[in-house]
Amino acid sequence: MERQFWIDSWREGGSKTSFHLPAVHPHARHLLDGGFVDGARVLVPLCGKSADMPAFATRAAEVVGVELVDSAVHQFFADNGLEPEEPAPGVFRSGNLTLLHADFFRLTTADLGGPVDLVYDRACLVAFPEDMRERYVAHLTALLDPGARYFLNTLDYLPELPEPPFSVCPDRVRGYFGGHFEIEHVFDEPRPEHRMVEKFGLSRLTEHGFLLRRTATPMSVPPVPSPAAEPAAP
């Protein structure tokens, strides 16, 4: 989705920012409980004002969020009672929490201030339509060193919708990332109670979690399956 879509979403708030969850996501809790965050430099792309970031900051060496919309950045610090410093334009820091007010697609390894140990992606890959999603995959892959971990949360539902969050099935995840990552499918959770099921009349919705590890050498890539036929109107 283009820049203006997200600026408008944050301006309107309410149902337009219903992706924001007030509590720590269970998949983030899994990473915390499993020790994946301990001492790590954690990158949260497309971070919004996610409540997972302060939770990670209690255990991580550093948490770096990247967010396009400045009001989301400011809301994040205000909601958490923090007054960030701005050591450089667009860099907001409080303790070991740094939010970069930036376009993820323009982010460089230098902007990240050091190697990333763990990426946490909730509602990021699925925020983009197919063409932008492929750019996102390529850019994220290029930012990571071999050995880096990447936790990916996706939604897979029918009928597909022409707006975020887009449906991304496990085969497509393997197609996007199989060439550069080892992939472990850790959560496969049917969610009939999910708010989208009733709102859009979905026939099914499953939430997935994958733990990926960046490999040093490219691996053979399974073909990315084509998207399902025409998405249904919401």
Ligand X SMILES: C[S@@+](CC[C@H](N)C(=O)[O-])C[C@H]1O[C@@H](n2cnc3c(N)ncnc32)[C@H](O)[C@@H]1O
Given 69, 119, 168, 211, the residue binding ligand X (CB under 6 A): 69
Segment interacting with ligand X (CB under 6 A) among 87-95, 101-109, 190-198, 208-216: 101-109
Contacts to ligand X from residues 6-25, by CB under 6 A: 6, 19-20
Contacts to ligand X from residues 106-145, by CB under 6 A: 122-124, 127
Given 63, 66, 99, 148, the residue binding ligand X (CB under 6 A): 66
Residue type, 5: F
Between 40 and 127, whose beta carbon lies closer to ligand X?
127
Cis peptide bond upstream of 165, omega within 30: yes
Alpha helical stretches, state H, the chain: 3-12, 26-33, 52-57, 70-79, 109-112, 130-143, 170-177, 195-200
Residue type, 159: P
Beta strand 149-158 with 118-122: parallel, antiparallel or unpaired? parallel
Residue with the closest Cβ to ligand X?
Answer: 48
Reduce the secondary structure of 22-90 to three states and give it as a string: CCCCHHHHHHHHCCCCCCCEEEECCCCCCCHHHHHHCCCCEEEEEECCHHHHHHHHHHCCCCCEEEECC
Contacts to ligand X from residues 137-196, by CB under 6 A: 164
Given 67, 117, 156, 207, the residue binding ligand X (CB under 6 A): 67
Between 62 and 67, whose beta carbon lies closer to ligand X?
67
Given 104, 151, 176, 177, the residue binding ligand X (CB under 6 A): 104
* Eight-class DSSP state of 103: -
Cβ 153 to ligand X shortest distance, Å: 8
Given 31, 40, 46, 144, the residue binding ligand X (CB under 6 A): 46
Binding site for ligand X (CB under 6 A): 6, 19-20, 46-48, 50, 66-69, 72, 103-105, 122-124, 127, 164
